Amino acid sequence: MATQATKRVLVVAGLGNGSDTGAATARLFAKKGYNVALIARGKDVVEKLSQEIRTSGGQAAPFAVESYSAQDIASAWGAIRNHYPSPEYNIRAAVFNAGYAVWKPFLDITPEEVQTSLQTNIASAFAFSREAILSFKENGIEEVNGKRGILIFTGATSSLRGNVVTSAIAAGKHGLRALSQSLAKEFGKQNIHVAHSIIDGIILVDRSRAEKGPEWEANEDVRLNPTVGSVCTSPECIRCT
């Protein structure tokens, strides 16, 4: 069994510009006492968020990657394991929030955009999952929950259905959802919990704030806030990522 003296670690991949779901998750886990390992493209984002969490009294470390390729993901996880060595630390939670969205009519989508969508939404998720599960398998079972670790994927409305301009992202998000279901079936018996959380709404981040304007931002009935949570009833949700 795991001991309470062991420090828990969360690994989260995909932070946007530091204002979206991945970053909000990192902040929440840090407040709960987790050491947070941040993976994202762009050194500035991970370092800024890491510093913010530490300034607020939490523990976090940045692990920037050039891409979400299998090689870069594996390299980041190797650095994380070195930074948080066992048995002092246990990687207990992992969140894959990376994604790539293409909102175009089908005939306007380029082969390069299709490949990037599949690489980010599916192939990189495979690589991230492999590293997470290998880490979890080294853990003892926690008495509080009976688990070795939890792996969470963030999905979208397009994980469930496609729309006129979502053929590329819907293919990727459907694949991610299927991956999560397969891993849950395979590793649930080994006390590893796998979940797919669908964020079904337009999220209040810097990009959507700029696109939608102040009136939309002020209306809590039509958007989601990653810092506090809300219920979205907007018909525009069919286009959310």
Residue 11 belongs to a domain: yes
CATH classification at residue 117: 3.40.50.720
Residue 59: which H helix or E strand, with range? strand 59-65
Residue 206 belongs to a domain: no
pLDDT at residue 184 greater than cutoff 90: yes
Q: What is the pTM of this model?
A: 0.84
Mean per-residue pLDDT for 85-94? 96
Residue with tokens 């286009």: 239
Residue 224 belongs to a domain: no
Number of domains present in the structure of the chain: 1
> Where does the pLDDT of residue 216 fall: very low under 50, low under 70, confident under 90, or very high at 90 and above?
low
CB-CB neighbours of 126 under 10 Å: 15
pLDDT at 19: 74
Residue with tokens 């459907």: 174
pLDDT at 206: 59
Distance CA 38, CA 140 (A): 24
Residue 210 belongs to a domain: no
Asked whether 149 and 192 are in contact (CB, 8 A), the reply is yes
pLDDT at 82: 98
pLDDT tens column, 108-157: 999 999 999 999 999 999 999 999 999 999 999 999 899 999 999 999 88
Provide the residue range defining the domain that includes 191: 7-199
Asked whether 166 and 209 are in contact (CB, 8 A), the reply is no
> Where does the pLDDT of residue 234 fall: very low under 50, low under 70, confident under 90, or very high at 90 and above?
very low
Structure tokens at 51: 């510093």
CA–CA distance from 141 to each of 95, 117, 129, 184 (Å)?
A: 19, 36, 19, 17
pLDDT at 16: 83
Distance CA 241, CA 13 (A): 16
Residue 184 belongs to a domain: yes
| pLDDT, averaged across the chain | 87
Residue 122 belongs to a domain: yes
**DSSP single-letter state for residue 234:** -
Which residues in 171-187 are b (16+ Cβ under 10 Å) and which e? bbbbbbbebbeebeeeb
Residue 89 belongs to a domain: yes
Residue with tokens 């779901």: 21
Residue 212 belongs to a domain: no
Axis-axis angle for helices 167-187, 124-137 (nearest 10): 20
pLDDT at 239: 32
The rounded percent of the chain whose pLDDT value lies above 90 is 71
Mean per-residue pLDDT for 157-177? 92
